[in-house]
């Protein structure tokens, strides 16, 4: 393995773990679907947070997923004002339309469960605190991290 590859291997391994966890949580066998769904949910969540909180959340992600998270981000005029779960779900669907309507909410919950596996509980509490109650209701009950 090249020295350059060695620099990125830990992030690749950790990112693969997140995608495997997403596949497990959603009951899917397609890693591309898991990746694309995670990307859509993370972008929607990122845009609903203040830039400071979005950056704090990203700091807990493997480098590879942090790049995915920041892809296309424009922190000006943030946070977006999604106030209702339907608005949040509609935005996720606009970023990745392959999930059928009945799968959309469980897919979002699966991403949130993956975050609970990998992000410290205190950081997730700060994230949830920035979300309106209606959107927070998409988040499964917090579990021990």
The pLDDT tens digits of the residues spanning 2-20 come to: 777 788 899 999 999 999 9
- Residue 104 CA, chain-centre distance (Å), reads 14
Q: Where are the domains of the chain?
A: 37-71+80-145
**CATH H superfamily, domain 37-71+80-145:** Uncharacterized conserved protein DUF2267 (1.10.490.110)
Query: 49 and 79 in contact (C-beta within 8 Å)?
Result: yes
Q: What is the pLDDT of residues 59-107, one digit of tens each?
A: 999 999 999 999 999 998 888 888 899 999 999 999 987 766 778 999 9
């Amino acid at each position: 393995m090249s020295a350059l590859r060695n620099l990125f291997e830990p992030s690749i391994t950790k990112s693969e773990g997140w995608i495997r966890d997403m596949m497990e949580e959603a009951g899917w066998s397609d890693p591309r679907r898991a990746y694309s769904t995670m990307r859509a949910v993370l972008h929607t969540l990122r845009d609903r947070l203040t830039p400071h909180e979005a950056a704090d959340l990203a700091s807990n992600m493997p480098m590879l997923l942090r790049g995915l998270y920041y892809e296309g981000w424009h922190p000006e005029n943030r946070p977006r004002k999604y106030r209702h779960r339907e608005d949040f779900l509609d935005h996720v669907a606009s970023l990745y339309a392959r999930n059928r309507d009945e799968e959309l909410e469980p897919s979002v919950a699966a991403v949130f469960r993956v975050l609970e596996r990998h992000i410290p509980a205190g950081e997730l509490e700060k994230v949830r605190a920035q979300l309106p109650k209606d959107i927070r209701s998409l988040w499964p009950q917090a579990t021990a991290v």
